[in-house]
Amino acid sequence: QLGPRERAAMASRILHRLRHALAGEGSREERARGGCEAEDFPESSELEDDTEGLSTRLSGTLSFTSHEEEDEDEDGAGEEPGEPPQPTGAAAGAEDGGRCWGRCAGGPGQSRSPGQQHPGGDPSGEWGPAAERPGSSLLTRQLQELWRKSRGSLAPQRLLFEVTSASVVSERSSKYVLYTIYLIRSGRFDKAPAAIARRYSDFERLNRRLRCRFGCDMAGIAFPRKRLRRNFTAETIAKRSRAFEQFLSHLHSIAEIRRSPEFLEFFFLQDLQAAQRLTCTGMYREALATWANAYRLQDRLGVCSSGRFLLTLAGLAVCHQELDELGEAHGCCEQALQLLEAQGSHPLLGPFLQAHVHLAWKVGKDKRRSEARLQDLQEAGPPLQQQPTLKECLIKEPLE
């Protein structure tokens, strides 16, 4: 039987190993010497080493022409083969005490869920035979408590960016690579992923706008250079894909950039514009899918109380109603009215109330509260007949 000092020493050693495992360090204990900042996004080494694996991951989705060395159009970009982007310095660890974002603790899209077993312990709290040995109950209880605390503090939910496919697109006189990026929340399973498709010029425009506004924060973030030849080889596309994953992860790790309109609209503004055009032309089924993807993107990015999100709910409600999916349309109106609960006036409040009352009557739901709010709004503002419908607001809203 162990004495008090021996039990304390053993608990200290096990806790030390547990913390290393939770932080994704495992057997790579050399990180302790350089700190997390040095390993958050080790572009100089990891980018080159990861190229083969990323090429394999994209091999089923890459498409090529027979002229791989053809000069690229104005979107041509990327680092020279064998030249990874410049190290980013401490910018990658600027948020949350330098905790690693992106894929620093695992492979592509690999992240431990809160219930997944980690090296050094069982999340259920059963620590194997040691829990049954005499004199070890105190040690077990201590470790269980430390496990619960450590799991909440060292394994936060993160947003990962993963290039899932890259295809060469030829349009008349131009040719470029289109990258499909998934936004993945670590530790959770997304039934319907949020995805964007962007070309190099989109990334370059984002980089330019952010450097104009956040010069100091962007100083340590590398961006792949333009080049003229060999833009369509598997190696080059894989390196660019990895570079864009790191670039977005670096940006998201900085709070000021993560909340900026420039960064946010890079992800969902194109979808909103496309969904609005499809709605205006009566292509409601196609518009519904685009509105839904914009909804998921804003949800992943944590901007579910903005004006853009209310417009997205309006688009979903209109398309569901036009497709005779009245229950879904009613749910979208209810969600919007909950967000507008604390606002006395909003351009979309009246249209949402009108739509909610109409849909509640159709599906047999309670509409008395919306009717009362609509009556109060009408007494304080223009007559009900002069207020635009939800569809009219949606079509007339400028999206630039």
Select, from the ranges 75-79, 89-93, 332-336, the one with the highest average predicted confidence (pLDDT).
Answer: 332-336
- Buried/exposed 198-210: b ≥16 CB within 10 Å, e otherwise: bbbebbbebbebb
**pLDDT grade for 140, boundaries at 50, 70 and 90:** low
pLDDT at residue number 310: 95
pLDDT one-digit tens code per residue, 254-295? 999 999 999 999 999 999 999 999 999 999 999 999 999 999
Higher pLDDT, 60 or 267: 267
Q: Looking only at Cα atoms, what is the longest distance across the chain?
A: 84
Task: Print the SS3 string covering the chain.
Answer: CCCHHHHHHHHHHHHHHHHHHHCCCCCCCCHHHHCHHHCCCCHHHHHHHHHHHHHHHHCCCCCCCCCCCCCCCCCCCCCCCCCCCCCCHHHHHCCHHHCCCCCCCCCCCCCCCCCCCECCECCCCCCHHHHHCCCCHHHHHHHHHHHHHHHHHHCCCCEEEEEEEEEEEEECCEEEEEEEEEEEECCCCCCCCEEEEEEHHHHHHHHHHHHHHCHHHHCCCCCCCCCCCCCCCHHHHHHHHHHHHHHHHHHHCCHHHHCCHHHHHHHHHHHHHHHHHHHHCCCHHHHHHHHHHHHHHHHHHCCCCCHHHHHHHHHHHHHHHHCCCHHHHHHHHHHHHHHCCCCCCCCCHHHHHHHHHHHHHHHCCCCHHHHHHHHHHHHHCCCHHHCCCHHHHHHHCCCC
**pLDDT grade for 59, boundaries at 50, 70 and 90:** low
pLDDT at residue number 387: 80
Kindly tell me if the per-residue pLDDT of 25 is higher than 60: no
Domains and CATH numbers, the chain: 159-259 (3.30.1520.10), 264-396 (1.25.40.10)
Task: Count how many residues are written for the chain.
Answer: 400
Higher pLDDT, 185 or 316: 316
Rounded to an integer, the average pLDDT of 147-157 is 51
Q: Name the residue with tokens 């090296």.
A: 119
pLDDT at residue number 24: 52
pLDDT one-digit tens code per residue, 184-241? 988 777 788 899 999 999 999 999 999 999 999 999 898 988 766 777 788 888 999 9
Q: Residue 344: what residue type?
A: G
Could you give the percent of the chain with pLDDT greater than 90?
A: 43
Higher pLDDT, 1 or 96: 1
Q: Are 63 and 168 spatial neighbours (Cβ–Cβ below 8 Å)?
A: yes
Rounded to an integer, the average pLDDT of 53-64 is 52
Tell me how far apart the alpha carbons of residues 251 and 301 are, in angstroms, rounded to a whole number: 12
Could you give the percent of the chain with pLDDT greater than 70?
A: 58
User: Dihedral through CA 381, CA 382, CA 386, CA 389, nearest 10?
Assistant: 0
